[in-house]
Amino acid sequence: MFDDKVVRRRRVALAVFVALSVALLTAYFGESGSGLLHALQRGTQEAFAPIESGASRALKPVRDFTGWAGDTFDAKSKNKKLKGEVERLRSQLAEAQTAQRDAQQLRGLVGLQRSAGFPQGTDPVAARVIARSPTVWYSTVKIDKGRSDGVRVDQPVIATGGLVGKVTEVTSGTSEVTLISDGSSAVSGQIMPEGANGIVRPEVGNPDDVLLDFVQKGRRVTQGTTVVTSGFTSSRVESLFPRGIPIGRVTKVDLDEVELYQRVHIKPFADLRRLDYVQVLTKRPQTQQAGVLAP
């Protein structure tokens, strides 16, 4: 019984409140701008204006801090995403550049084998360079092919451009190649088309400059001519390198009135500093032009 009375009173109060609200709204919208209700509204707004202004000024640092924190977190998130994108693009660029360089070197090897005068029937084995000599002399490299691939000691090694050296050590799956820039290297060479013979030796410390020594003074040597392996044979000795492998181009000739021989400087065709792919010539050509190397 008590609960019913409370409910009835609340309903009556709600009905009265709704009726008064409707009456006030009707009166408010029905009177002019200078009416009593409009005057009360303006008075109330003016009374609370200082409180609103003070509260706004007091809360401004909080709003500014909240905005700054939000902007900072948003900037950090964007910065992290941008860094990740830059790293991804940098990685893709490096992969593309590496693939392009590898393709260029492999195409260069194919083109070298198809060039006029290159020895045929050598059964080349392609290999990737997996290590380089730790010194600045560019004397050796290690490749990923070995005895199980048909590689043997003393077999010639070429790269894009021409001769780079010979195999000096072999394991089951890897080999060491001694480059023509190594101090122990010696290759019989011939200047084309003049035909002057000599021994190609390194100018130690400069892989871009090798020497063709023991070229007799009477033989004319022209700057810009090509030097290839001579591939000489005789009754006593046979060259390790078959005839016709390009070595380099003549850059200058040192003339010495005292010496009996000329010193011919050669720039190797192969870039000995940046070898990535090479080929090992695992077989000798069936035909080898005979000749005698100048003393």
- Please report the sign of the dihedral spanned by the C-alpha atoms of residue 26, residue 29, residue 30, residue 33: positive
CB 227 within 8 A of CB 247: yes
β-pair type (162-170, 140-143): unpaired
Q: Which residue has the tokens 């992290």?
A: 80
Helices (H) and strands (E) in the chain, counts: 2, 12
CA dihedral 51→56→57→58, nearest 10 degrees, is: 80
Q: Which tens digits make up the pLDDT trace of 59-96? A: 567 666 676 666 776 777 777 777 777 777 777 777 77
Token readout for 278 is 């090479």
What residues of the chain score a pLDDT lower than 50?
Answer: 234-237, 289-295
* Structure confidence at residue 34 (pLDDT): 64
DSSP E strands in the chain: the ranges are 124-132, 140-143, 156-159, 162-170, 175-179, 187-192, 197-202, 210-216, 226-229, 246-254, 261-268, 277-281
* Structure confidence at residue 251 (pLDDT): 93
Neighbouring residues of 152: CB distance < 8 A, sequence distance ≥ 6: 167, 170, 282
* Structure confidence at residue 221 (pLDDT): 85
